Structure 1
């Protein structure tokens, strides 16, 4: 597979920008860990999931990382659109997709770092995955697929926003979606009117797949549903991103 060198260079640029904003980077890394600890130690004793609560909550915490990481991607894209750097890139004959792909690649790398941190803390407080090497790799591949999808969606939101501040607000939905899902409590404990949405929103099959893979449990058709959602989101987001970029840079 050929990798666009412009996208690689721009991914490196996005990572360097992140390293110059340590407060935002630390927040993106630590906030999911803190939320996981809050759920485990403050609420875990009151929530019956049929297993140790830390075992139940880790997949949801991983997806929470992706939401926070995607928020920074949307802000970075909006900042590029505002500060005039896009004109410089276009003068070098760099197209919109490589520019946005650089942001997405950096987002994936940042999210993998935060996910590794969440997993390390989870192991320290009692999480014990049962996955073998191949199953663990399958879980990692699904997680990367989801992070890529949500990062492209964040890039679209960054293009829609008129300012970096507005982009941060637009990403609220992505950070909110893990809550009305099976991330932190079983769906059957929610009000009946919420079951339909929680059962059929994109994050639930991703969470259920990760939970089953990491704990070496039957996954049913959840992984295929999750991959279908991720593929649909990525395809739609890339198409919209290309269209919006061309519209905003005319």
Structure 2
């Protein structure tokens, strides 16, 4: 005897939920509006500050490092270059404030590269928000680092004898120029953070760029003491323009030429590297 298979020919039933059933599952009311570009950027800026809260060791580079730089260079070079550490401090402090803050900008690229390696940015890119918000917000959060580093250096300088003739307004103007440039310069490192493969690579390239820019400038000595070929580089160095502008405001004057160059450099960094960053970010 052979077994035969039987089929009923009945199609499987499909459950179709009613409108009332869907209403109990889905959120009632209208869909919330899409966040604005500013709101999304500030949210990611707050995220960057929360990372500092949970990992306070990140503040080492904006506290201990600037203090070490001020003390070391003031007492190491002050007597040799100006016959008095206090006199050298008047010339040197605005420059070292610029150097320390500009050095910190590289951590924007390092943090971005770290988020990419962990897959965080793959999730962020799927959100229905303004596309550049994550990058702009990250730099907004880093502005806190810049301000804190500048305040720490200024406080140490005042304790050692630095006296800005420009008073509080001149100092605030100098810090403002420094923050504007640092915000723009950070776009350089966001681009490198997207292009390079690891945090170490970002830091290596950053140091290779930052050391010539900061040391081959007017931070430590007047360019007039340098050979002619080096003066040619120093004169077009954006750090030179930034230091000259900050020195002028803290001294109670205004250097229109260097301030204009500073703003042009800042605009150039944002336009060129901001565009390259978004091009790479959208196609990563």
TM-score (norm 2): 0.81
Alignment of structure 1 residues 1-250 onto 2, 5 Å: 4-48=38-82, 52-132=87-167, 134-172=169-207, 173-217=209-253, 219-248=255-284
Unpaired segments ≥5 residues, structure 1 = none
- Give the count of matched residue pairs: 247
Output the CA distance in 2 between the equivalents of 1:180 and 1:43. 16
User: 126-135 or 99-108, which moves further after superposition?
Assistant: 126-135
CA distance in 2, matches of 1:175, 1:94: 37
- What do residues 100-138 of structure 1 show as CA deviations (whole Å, max 9, x unaligned)? 111111111111111100110011001101114544443
Cα deviation per residue 1:150-185 (whole Å; 9 max; x = unaligned)? Answer: 122221121121112211112111254111000111
Q: Distance in 1 between matches of 2:261 and 2:114?
A: 34
Change (3 A) 1:160 1:188: same
List structure 1 segments (4+ residues) > 6 angstroms apart after TM superposition: none
Cα offset for 1:4?
Answer: 1.6
C-alpha displacement of 1:21 = 3.1
Mapped to 2, the partners of 1:181 and 1:49 lie a distance apart of: 21
The DSSP-based 3-state class of the residue aligned with 2:51 is helix
Distance 1:132 1:43 in 2: 26
Tell me how far apart the structure 2 counterparts of residues 110 and 218 of structure 1 sit (CA, whole Å).
26
Query: Contact 2:147/2:175 (CA < 8 Å) preserved in 1?
Result: no
Preserved contact between residue 28 and residue 68 of structure 1 (Cα < 8 Å): no
How far 1:56 moved relative to its partner? 0.8
Residues 70, 171 of structure 1: 8 Å contact kept: no
CA–CA distance in structure 2, aligned partners of residues 154 and 214 of structure 1: 28
CA distance in 1, matches of 2:102, 2:178: 12
**For residues 167 and 95 of structure 1, what CA distance do their matches in structure 2 show?**
26
- Bigger radius of gyration, 1 or 2? 2
Root-mean-square deviation over aligned CA pairs: 2.1
> Residues 101, 195 of structure 1: CA spacing in aligned structure 2 closer, same or farther, 3 A cutoff?
same
Unaligned runs of 5+ in 2: 1-35
Instruction: State the Cα distance separating 1:65 from its structure 2 match.
Output: 2.2
Q: Distance in 2 between matches of 1:131 and 1:239?
A: 37
Secondary structure of 1:171's match?
helix
Relative contact order: is structure 1 or structure 2 higher (C-alpha 8 Å, sep ≥ 6)? 1
Give me the whole-angstrom Cα distance separating, in 2, the residues matched to 1:111 and 1:122. 17
State the alpha-carbon separation in 2 of the partners of residues 237 and 76 from structure 1. Answer: 17
Q: In 1, Cα distance between the equivalents of 2:137 and 2:204?
A: 22
Q: How far apart are residue 186 of structure 1 and its match?
A: 0.7
